[in-house]
Copies of this chain bind each other. A is one copy, B any other.
Amino acid sequence: MVPTSENGPPPPVYREIAEELREQIRSGRFADGDRLPGENVLMERHGVARATARQALSVLINEGLAVAVRGSGVYVRLFRPVRRHGARRLSRELWGNGRAIWQTDSDDRGYEVDSLRVEEAAARDHVARTLELAEGDPVLVRSRRYLVDGRPVQTAVSHLPLAVVGAEPRFRGHDTGPGGIYARLAERGLAPARFTEEIRVRMPTPEETGALALAPGTPVLEVARTALTAEHRPVEFNAITMDGSAYVLQYDFEA
């Protein structure tokens, strides 16, 4: 399609083998959980050295399409991405009825929250600007990690102006009550009416690689979400970091 892809040297053999396997995964010839041809098979089939066969399989592992199981082989990865449905998951119908936003994301699969930490901090820079606070104004910061099928998939750091959460203890607890913090905001007359999500992608920091147990070469998605009341008052800023291989983000909108 683009000229640059038509010129230049041909791709190395390991790339070609990886591409062939990738196509077989995409087409469904190999399904989730299937064992891919091993190094010996690839060596014989393509007449290549072991290092080349191994490199081809590494490409798929690094892309998150396959996982190596020690002493057994390389398998098409079992994890089904979480479909995160932008607008539907944040509809008032959901949290207004006491359900957790996450119930729409993890489908039939369970999810867990761990590593919750709640603390007060001073708003700085982007957080202060987004929440329309002065530098140093106090915010409540809720940090936590989400796991699906036991696999860490995202971390989220919510910032709420202290003036908004007041002394209500459930903003500070592990269990924020039915419908979560948006239902609690609604009870205080500060129901979110609009959301803005900004999406960026980049390679992870070493800390993120650890927290999300990322495979080598896995990018992260940053979702920066701001919740606003009907009067356009920002009541929450949430900095979400997702394992890029674990998510499909979906947004539906009108023309």
In contact, A252 and B196 (Cβ under 8 angstroms): yes
In contact, B255 and A193 (Cβ under 8 angstroms): yes
Which stretch from A33-41, A43-51, A242-250 is at the chain B interface? A242-250
In contact, A219 and B202 (Cβ under 8 angstroms): yes
A125 interfacial contact with B, CB 8 Å: yes
In contact, B203 and A219 (Cβ under 8 angstroms): yes
* CB-defined contacts of A64 to chain B, threshold 8 Å: 202
In contact, A250 and B206 (Cβ under 8 angstroms): no
A156 closest partner in B (C-beta):
B1
In contact, B252 and A157 (Cβ under 8 angstroms): no
How many whole Å from A188's CB to the nearest CB in chain B? 15
* CB-defined contacts of A255 to chain B, threshold 8 Å: 90-92, 182, 191-195, 227
In contact, B248 and A211 (Cβ under 8 angstroms): no
* CB-defined contacts of A2 to chain B, threshold 8 Å: 115, 145, 152, 155, 210-211
How many whole Å from A54's CB to the nearest CB in chain B? 18
Determine how many copies of this chain the complex contains: 2
In contact, A198 and B1 (Cβ under 8 angstroms): no
A3 interfacial contact with B, CB 8 Å: yes
* CB-defined contacts of A27 to chain B, threshold 8 Å: 125
Q: Which of B1, B115, B117, B219 contacts A115 (CB 8 A)?
A: B1
Question: How many residues belonging to A are interface residues under a CB distance threshold of 8 Å?
Answer: 63
Which stretch from A4-12, A69-77, A102-110, A168-176 is at the chain B interface? A4-12
Please encode chain A, from 121 to 134, with 1 for each CB lying within 8 Å of some chain B CB and 0 for all others. Answer: 00001000000000
Interchain CA distance A249-B253 in the complex, whole Å:
14
How many whole Å from A187's CB to the nearest CB in chain B? 15
In contact, B250 and A8 (Cβ under 8 angstroms): no
CB-CB under 8 A for A199 and B4, given A11-B206, A90-B253: no
In contact, B1 and A206 (Cβ under 8 angstroms): no
In contact, B210 and A8 (Cβ under 8 angstroms): yes
Within 8 A of B (CB), among A44-101: 62-64, 81, 86-87, 90-92
How many whole Å from A8's CB to the nearest CB in chain B? 7
In contact, B203 and A221 (Cβ under 8 angstroms): no
A144 closest partner in B (C-beta):
B1
A200 interfacial contact with B, CB 8 Å: yes
How many whole Å from A150's CB to the nearest CB in chain B? 14
In contact, B1 and A145 (Cβ under 8 angstroms): yes
A197 interfacial contact with B, CB 8 Å: yes
Please encode chain A, from 223 to 246, with 1 for each CB lying within 8 Å of some chain B CB and 0 for all others. Answer: 000010000000000000000110
